[in-house]
Amino acid sequence: EDQVTQSPEALRLQEGESSSLNCSYTVSGLRGLFWYRQDPGKGPEFLFTLYSAGEEKEKERLKATLTKKESFLHITAPKPEDSATYLCAVGSSSEYALNFGKGTSLLVTP
């Protein structure tokens, strides 16, 4: 059974204090690993898809990396507007569903 575990559950950073969010996964045939950002009461906003181990993608202050067992979302010099819940999801080659973790709630304070 596919499993996705995100850590930490919550993270509080000072503005400019870089850190990483972790997503550990088990899946039978990875179709893709997806990162989303979700603001309170809103739908998830797509950030990245990673398809194979060793792949990296960047967008502004965010960088996502992938190994065979986990993915990291690195946040460099975060700003208060980066505060949100970050969701990780895996898609397997054997089913259509995205299997989501519970998310990491990030708070960046000025």
Partner 1 sequence: ETGVTQSPTHLIKTRGQQVTLRCSSQSGHNTVSWYQQALGQGPQFIFQYYREEENGRGNFPPRFSGLQFPNYSSELNVNALELDDSALYLCASWGTGENTEAFFGQGTRLTVV
The residue ranges that bind partner 1 (CB under 8 A) are 4, 32, 34, 36, 41-46, 49, 51, 87, 89, 95-103
Task: Please report how close the Cβ of residue 77 comes to partner 1 at its closest, in angstroms.
Answer: 26
Closer to partner 1 by CB, 1 or 81: give it. Answer: 1
CB of 70 to partner 1, least distance (A): 16
Rounded least distance, CB 15 to partner 1, Å = 25
Q: Which helix (H) or strand (E) holds 13?
A: strand 10-14
Q: Measured from the CB atom, is 65 or 99 closer to partner 1?
A: 99
**In the structure encoding, which two tokens stand for residue 106, read together?**
């990030």
- Please state the closest distance from residue 40 (CB atom) to partner 1, in A: 10
Q: What 8-state DSSP symbol labels residue 98?
A: E
- Pairing mode, strands 104-109 and 10-14: parallel
CB nearer to partner 1: pick between 32 and 76 = 32
Which is it for strands 30-38 and 3-7: parallel, antiparallel or unpaired?
Answer: unpaired
CA angle 45, 16, 13 (to 5 degrees): 70
Nearer to partner 1, 78 or 101 (CB): 101
84 in Cβ contact with 104 (< 8 Å): no
Given the structure tokens 């989303």, which residue do they identify?
A: 36
